[in-house]
Structure 1
Amino acid sequence: MAGLLCSPLHFTNNTPILPHSATTRPNDHIISHPFPFSTEAQVQTRKKRARSRTRALREWQEYEEAVKNKDLAKALRFLKDVPVESENSSIESTRFSGGEMGLFGSDKDWEVLDTCLNADDMRLVGSAYTFLKDRGFLPNFGKFRSIVMEGPREVTPTVLKTSTGLEVSKFSPKKWGVSGSSSVLLIILLAGVSYLVNQGIDIRPNLAAVLGLAMLDAIFLGGSCLAQISSYWPPYKRRILVHEAGHLLVAYLMGCPIRGVILDPIVAMQMGIQGQAGTQFWDEKLQSELAEGRVSGTAFDRYCMVLFAGIAAEALIYGDAEGGENDENLFRSICVLLEPPLSVAQMSNQARWSVLQSYNLLKWHKRAHSAAVKALENECSLSVVIRRIEEAMSSN
């Protein structure tokens, strides 16, 4: 074996072996191009992509214009026509999907909710929520729709107190000047009048004029002017935000599309909303049943829960409710549409059951309610409020 290893090497064909030199290397036959050239197909592809981006930019600008003009039909039609591609897709798209919730996807999609306020067709509003839910943006929309089927139906004042720790009277809206912060204002007003009279200042003509204007405001404007003045008082304004956020959150969790939240009393009056503020929501099943002249228990329960959610929110945060008189009036008005109509005792039980259900739902999602209140306080748009709710619920 050692001899074989030491034997001289033999090469076939007598091919001479040339030593490698500085000018002769094994890989000299490989040609490299420091600047790779593009084929005609690649050039055309880049041009096509550039045109696609330009067209997409123009279309998104049209979408933003539709949002600005509160044109829900146009904005929604555009979103439905835009395909969603995954991030690793080789197909050019005007946007990418942003994961399960879409919170990191296209921010523009959310803005379609800001166009709902001017929409006359509530079915179109419902389509906007359905579209966003199907795209994964609203996973909690309608998540608790079936809650109306759970729990006992008989809710006595004792049961309500045991469940919430509050007397049933704490859930009753207060008349202005009778209790709560309004009573403090009334006492201050009367004290001021008494002081001026004792000082020999006759303010009776001025007082009569003020009372006359207040009466005209109450009769013809629904108290909007007085409400506008009162809304500048921070504690009062805060209660309104808590109340309306309760309506909004429960409606959202129950799957009722929200058209908008009106916090300006003058705007509320112009839109035909009773009261100093209002949350406009829609229940498709309830509307279709009302059109047929009947109302089922499930649709009625869901409507009542949203209706009493404002009162429940105030009771949850403050320990009692001051607002909600118009909510109770709406409740009574729809009770007469039931067949057979509810008795007084049945109406009272339905009200207690509804407020308890809403109270528990808000208590379970107190963080989402706080997020909604803060967003409304910062005068955020509806899309931002809904997004804050989703973010709060996803962090639980």
Structure 2
Amino acid sequence: MMLSALLGPIFHLSPFIPAGTTLGILGLMTLDTLSWKGKGLTLLLDFFASAEDRQRIIHHEAGHFLAAYCLGIPINDYTLSAWEAIKKGQPGIGCVQFNDTFLAEQKILETPLIIERFSTVLMSGIAAEIVIYGQANGGEEDRQNLRELMIVSGINQNHYQTKANWSILQAKNLIIRNQETYEELVKMMEKRQSVADCYQLLQEKLKQN
């Protein structure tokens, strides 16, 4: 927009065009933020995502899925794109939806073992990216969820980084121990197989280990 304003006089471009376009874009961004909670921008970014980015999302969410299964936290559903998430009323670009009823029944905030397991599951997407790609590009929402879990659990926030690092290490070890199964899970999720089908794969494969 700045370039069009600077070069406008040369090409006889009215200054109202870049100004109007800028105001229009800012207006749409404001509407998206206030009314749609940023879903429009998320959808736009997802539309222009590269093939590698889409693969990262699948590997990230498969990490959550595998860890949740192994640690006994039930899964209701998963999404791997912004459009899928919007259709199912879920936030973000990709998401593994856990069974909230189960977590409530387990009194997660009063059970240290469940807190440890859920912390590992939250960091397992980041761990999966590190195992496959050497570093994690996503996971900020996972980190925020871990912070919130620590707050409501009464865990000192000064221990956040230690908690996050420990949970990532636990998740990495889990994925590496079951890497062949994890890769097959990635392929199934890429094909949008049902949660039940993914469960069956994990049940069969993990029995053999």
Shorter chain as denominator, the TM-score bin is 0.7 to 0.9
Contact in 1 for aligned 2:81/2:93 (Cα 8 Å):
yes
Q: 1:244, CA displacement in angstroms?
A: 0.9
Tell me the distance in 1 between the aligned counterparts of 2:132 and 2:19: 40
Contact in 2 for aligned 1:244/1:278 (Cα 8 Å):
yes
Q: 1:223, CA displacement in angstroms?
A: 2.4
Q: Quick one: which of 140, 159, 182 aligns to 1:346?
A: 159
1:263 equivalent to 2:61? Answer no
Q: Which has the higher helix share?
A: 2
Q: Partner residue of 2:177?
A: 364
Q: Partner residue of 1:224?
A: 39
Q: 1:335, CA displacement in angstroms?
A: 1.8
Matched pairs, number: 200
Contact in 2 for aligned 1:336/1:342 (Cα 8 Å):
yes
SS at match of 1:320: coil
Letter in 1 for 2:27: G
Contact in 2 for aligned 1:264/1:277 (Cα 8 Å):
yes
For residues 254-296 of structure 1, what are the alpha-carbon distances to aligned partners after superposition, in whole Å with 9 as ceiling and x for unaligned? Answer: 11111110234245346553322211123777423538xx522
Tell me the distance in 1 between the aligned counterparts of 2:143 and 2:103: 18
Q: Quick one: which of 349, 374, 380 aligns to 2:193?
A: 380
SS at match of 1:249: helix
Structure 1 vs Structure 2 CA RMSD: 2.8
Q: Quick one: which of 229, 232, 246 aligns to 2:63?
A: 246
Q: 1:198, CA displacement in angstroms?
A: 5.8
Q: 1:333, CA displacement in angstroms?
A: 2.0
Q: Which has the higher contact order (CA 8 A, sep 6+)?
A: 2
List runs of 5+ in structure 1 lacking aligned partners.
1-192
1:335 equivalent to 2:140? Answer no
Letter in 1 for 2:28: L
Contact in 2 for aligned 1:371/1:389 (Cα 8 Å):
no
Percent identical among aligned pairs is 29
Output the TM-score relative to the length of structure 2. 0.80
SS at match of 2:199: helix
1:310 equivalent to 2:136? Answer no
Q: Which has the larger radius of gyration?
A: 1
SS at match of 1:261: strand
Distance 1:253 1:229, change over 3 A: same
Letter in 2 for 1:359: K
Contact in 1 for aligned 2:150/2:156 (Cα 8 Å):
no
Output the TM-score relative to the length of structure 1. 0.45
Q: Partner residue of 2:53?
A: 236
For residues 30-77 of structure 1, what are the alpha-carbon distances to aligned partners after superposition, in whole Å with 9 as ceiling and x for unaligned? Answer: xxxxxxxxxxxxxxxxxxxxxxxxxxxxxxxxxxxxxxxxxxxxxxxx
Distance 1:248 1:395, change over 3 A: same
Write the mapping of 1:125-144 to structure 2, written as runs, cut at 5 A.
none
Write the mapping of 1:295-306 to structure 2, written as runs, cut at 5 A.
295-306=110-121
SS at match of 1:308: helix
Write the mapping of 1:285-300 to structure 2, written as runs, cut at 5 A.
286-290=103-107, 294-300=109-115
Letter in 2 for 1:335: M
